A and B are shown apart, each in its own frame.
Chain A
Amino acid sequence: MATEFNILLIDDEVDFLETTCKRLIRRGYDVKTALTCAEGLTIIESGWPDIVVLDVMLPDRDGMDFLREIKAKWSTLPVVLLTGHASMQAGLQGLDCGASDYCLKPIDLETLVEKLAIAYRESRQQGA
């Protein structure tokens, strides 16, 4: 399994963030976390992440709106949306705004890792 990319997790659910972060690190990934869009933006601006996992509902900002900003500034940075609120409209809107994928919680780690790896690979291919 490739572990060559850095993952940024942005989610306001502390428990989810901590557990997922720990488990991804155990898999050999480098992971940073952010509880708000503002925190997330600082990390993205540093150029550190290779992929972003973004919750749609965040306290400081609408996730979809934040997604648009990310894709406007860093068009090749893949963003995978991960949410607990299933909505067909939001899913399609997410893809229209440039998300690589739209996933639903709860998600098992195996599936998440695969989805991230595929999203990362696809972004590299487009960039190439």
Chain B
Amino acid sequence: MTSLVDLFTSLFRSKPRLKPAELQTAFRSHYKEFRSLLTANNNALELMAEMEQVLGAGRSFGMAFIRGNCTALTVNIYKMIRHLSKLSDGRYGALDQSFRDITRQLELVIASPPVTTEGAVILSMAEVDAGMVDQVGEKMANLGEVRNRVGLRTPDGFVITAAAGRHFTQANDLEVEINRRLKGLDFDNMEELYTVSAGIQALIVNAPLPKDLEEAILAHHQQVVTDKDSELLVALRSSALGEDSSNVSFAGQYRTQLNVSREFVGQAYKEIMAGKYKSQVIVYRQQRGYRHQDVHMCVGCLHMVDAVVSGVLYSRAPDDPRSRFVMIQAAPGLASHVVDGSGATEQFMVSRTPPYALLDFQSGVGQADGGVDSLPTLTALQTAELAEVGVRLEEHFGTPQDVEWSIDKAGLLYILQSRPLGRPAAEELSEPKGHGIREDDLPSPLLVGGVCASRGVACGKVFNVRSSLDLLRFPKGAVLVVETPYPDWASLLDRASAVISETGQMAAHLATVAREFGIPAIFGMNQALTTLGNYRLITVDATAGKVYDGRVESLLALALPKPNLMVGSPVYKILVAAMEYITPLTLTDPASPFFKPDSCQTLHDLTRYCHEKAVVEMFKFGERYGFDDKAAKQLVVDAPSQWWVIDLDDGFSSDFDPESRYVDLGHIVSVPMLAIWQGMTAFPWAGPPPVSLRGFGSIIFQSTRNPGLDPGVRSTMAAKNYFLISKNFCNLSVRLGYHFALVEANLGEYLTENYVNFQFKGGAADENRRLLRIRLISDILNEFGFRVEQKADSMTARIEKKPGSFLLERLKILGYLIIHTRQIDMVMGDEGMIAQYRQKITADLHILLDNAEMEG
């Protein structure tokens, strides 16, 4: 700010003068550039805030968001540079180079190349292990590891690799067309999503397989069936890169084709490839921050196990990784009945240590009618074998596992899949089971029962989903109520507040996805559809397995924050890397010798530099074109401080005498200035606070270290208070007591142009007290809707794109705070005083705003 102060002084030097009319015209033209620069600055700051907010909020975003915001941001900053150049008759040319350097770096980050895939198009399962994830996808790499390193039995077969997938898409030139269709896709428009998804899938399924790839697949198929019955059928299982890593399950979202005969292997392969673009997978990728070009689909082609009984085992309970038992879910036939949520299962709890004793058994889990008691499908030997396998896999992979398995007619156990068990959020781990609210304090529930598929509490209106058509109509925030928890409903989980299903259990894929998204879910809840009807407002307590009518606030207060699903994803990492060139502010002190164009390291630095220099240029206008020394008028008011006003354009009324050295409030028509002034003068200043000896000592000490704080010493900080105004614009620089404040506001014709910016710095007390004052001011401004940033003992607060009436009220608040927070840093060591000031300030501000409303 020092440079500005120097300029104030230079205003009053003698200069060659322009005629008033010429001066007016020249000035207006500068002022218009200035105003356009402010609008671009406003847009740029808002875009940066949005990008920062999105990183922290856990909202899902894709590359389109990053590319779009970076483009809009650079366009606005480039505009600022051009406006500044016009304002200054071409000075600051060096900004161009800094701008080009930063944008070039930013482009490199955004255009980071997709994961590439190299190597053989087909690999036998005997060759595969966990180190080959990039070639065969996580599911098959883990299965190869289970087979070749852990030494467990898995179905024979081979993997059609990522390189094969790339060969297929390149041979048919699919990438460009798919990109074209996905660009600009509105993820909230379910109908558009379905149309685009169906179109892309048809494109893939109808594309021919390259001859060499088809031959290689069939040749390997031949090898697998050689030792077996010639009628052997195979299962084709998706194995995407990125799938099944911890916390990103893509559970059940891709396709699996079972019982495929030789003639249909090629077609089944293409259908699984197309599954990468199923609508729920497109949405899921967007939610989890994966670029579709980074996800490669590999396909495992494995012989079908003639399963007598199949299921899922968890090496520990999915909702409690500290549990000391293995949980097994089993059902007759294929494992798919267990994981697609469509069938009832048996549940076995087995000890994790030899001899792996059966601790508990339940039949009919997830069945609507509760099931009938029957003999277990697994023997004690089998549950022991499964438990041992679970513990071995957990030890080998180093983390609890979620394992799919089948036992064939000969009684042989096959492992079909092993993946890390999705972990509940850390908060959940530390939370004791149950919420501790007494039953008597809660209303009586509408429904009780089922299994907790995902813990938590949520509230919303019931919405029944029976068909794909219902998916399109599903309202945001509703409770998804279904008969069967099919994996296809997963695309609704970013819109749903909770899930209730009449059937299914915690092994269902939909349960895995619900846990991942932190959405409460109860499965196997009898009569849910008929009891709850449709559109009724309910509260779901999944942890306790209860559903209540209406909102139950005491339960909702316990709701856990949703996990930030984007953290660590490829798209998230790209945004984090891009932000390094966007938001950090390294140019903070305009008085520093490093405050120059080639010191700008980020886009934020550029906006800061352009804005500062634009204000300086508006003053320099006077220096260059001969502002006369009467330009700054002293405000005639009954106040101890001196206030000076400079009219940029139309801030004084037309009957004001330009020759006068003084201006009274009656001649000021600047709307934002009058609002600030009203806030400043609404309440008399109570004077300096009663200072304790320690507080006073702190000021004396600071004064000796920083002569700028002593009003008796002429320093750059000890300047007059200036309003720089037009009818709709005001820039106020204030030096009151020991702090410096700047308010800038523009009330334009359009919302885009509207903003209030406030900066506050300094104080006389020691750092701790100054920080406490800043925090007090920040809290108050936050409460009134400002976006506040605090750095050391300075803060900035902004509001933009709000209606003029709203901004005028905020200006009154700022006016009030500038006056009434004077010197209170001195008493900030005293908790009681802080509370007292907070209370008084808040009360005054409410009176101020209420009065304004009444006047309005």
Contact = CB atoms under 8 A, between A and B. Distances in A.
Determine the main DSSP class of A at the interface with B: helix
B75 interface: yes
Interface stretch (A23-31, A47-55, A97-105): A97-105
Given A92-B103, A122-B32, A101 B75 contact: yes
Interface string B175-198: 000000001101000000000000
Contact of B71 (A104, A111, A114): A104
29 contacts: A2-B749, A84-B183, A84-B184, A85-B183, A86-B68, A87-B67, A88-B74, A88-B75, A88-B103, A89-B107, A91-B75, A91-B78, A92-B74, A92-B75, A95-B78, A102-B75, A103-B72, A104-B68, A104-B71, A105-B184, A106-B184, A106-B186, A111-B752, A114-B752, A115-B752, A117-B749, A118-B39, A118-B750, A118-B753
Interface centre among B75, B79, B184, B753 (most CB of A within 10 A): B75
Interface of A: 2, 84-92, 94-95, 101-106, 110-111, 114-115, 117-118, 121-122, 125
Nearest to A96: B78
B634 to A, nearest CB: 32
Residue from B67, B71, B82 whose CB has the most chain A CB atoms within 10 Å: B71
A18 to B, nearest CB: 17
Interface centre among A90, A92, A94 (most CB of B within 10 A): A92
A88 B71 contact: yes
B781 interface: no
A115 to B, nearest CB: 7
Given A88-B103, A91-B72, A114-B751, 10 more contacts: A86-B70, A87-B67, A88-B107, A105-B184, A106-B184, A115-B752, A118-B39, A118-B752, A122-B32, A125-B32
Contacts of A115: 752
Contacts of B32: 122, 125
Contacts of A117: 749-750
B750 A95 contact: no
Interface string B750-770: 111100000000000000000
B831 to A, nearest CB: 46
B645 interface: no
A105 B67 CA distance: 12
Contacts of A105: 184
A91 B103 CA distance: 12
A95 B79 contact: yes
Contacts of A94: 75
B374 to A, nearest CB: 56
Contacts of A90: 71
A111 B68 CA distance: 15
Given A91-B75, A102-B75, A114 B70 contact: no
A96 B753 CA distance: 23
A125 B86 CA distance: 14
B164 interface: no
A106 B78 CA distance: 22
A90 B750 CA distance: 26
Contacts of A91: 71-72, 74-75, 78
A91 B67 CA distance: 11
B106 interface: yes
B7 to A, nearest CB: 26
Contacts of B103: 88, 92
B64 interface: yes
Interface in B17-44: 29, 32, 36, 39
B325 to A, nearest CB: 52
Nearest to A95: B78
Contacts of B79: 95
A122 B36 contact: yes
A50 B681 CA distance: 46
B726 to A, nearest CB: 14
Contacts of A104: 68, 71-72
Nearest to A2: B749
A121 B750 CA distance: 11
A105 B79 CA distance: 20
A79 B186 CA distance: 26
A95 B82 contact: yes
Residue in B70, B750, B753 whose Cβ sees the most chain A Cβ within 10 Å: B750
B300 to A, nearest CB: 37
Contacts of A102: 71, 75
Contacts of A84: 183-184
Contacts of A106: 184, 186
Contacts of A88: 70-71, 74-75, 103, 106-107, 110
A19 B661 CA distance: 57
A106 B75 CA distance: 17
Nearest to B74: A88
A118 B749 CA distance: 9
Interface in B102-151: 103, 106-107, 110
B71 A86 contact: yes
A35 B32 CA distance: 34
